Amino acid sequence: MKLKLVLTAVFVIFFASLFFAESSKASLNASLATPITSPITAPVYSLTGKVSFRFFHPAKGWTSLPAANVSVSIRNLVTNENSVYITDGNGNYLANLVGGNYVINAPVISGIQFYPSSHSVILNQNTGGFNFVGTPFHFGL
């Protein structure tokens, strides 16, 4: 009877120690694992502007019209990545970009000179007013 009691106690102690060893091993592995986190993303800001054509109308004088469907290119000065944005029917363009340093280049259209030819911007908030005005080249007589 004593032998049976001793064997039962040894058996219980053996399985209990096995259980706790596995439990603490799993707990240790969990604490050493890399925590799951969300990726860090840079903030995105809106950059806007308008492109228009300016020309002299004999009856109306200087007139402006929106430049619809023209390309405005924006270059990231850090990555040197260039993106192209198309103006809407009112000559407006919108670019959603990660904050940083950019150059916005005026459209290139044969026979039209845009002013200014580019804008430099440090984008750290939503910003606008990066406009371009195109006028026809004037050729001497």
Residue 141 — pLDDT band, cuts 50, 70, 90? very low
Per-domain residue ranges for the chain?
1-37, 44-136
Given a cut of 90, is residue 120 above it in pLDDT?
A: yes
44-136 belongs to which CATH class? mainly beta
Mean pLDDT of 99-110: 95
Mean pLDDT of 9-19: 56
Dist. CA 15–CA 37, nearest whole Å: 37
What pLDDT is attached to residue 111? 92
CA distances from 112 to 21, 72, 97 (A): 80, 14, 28
Say whether pTM exceeds 0.85. Answer: no
Mean pLDDT of 16-39: 58
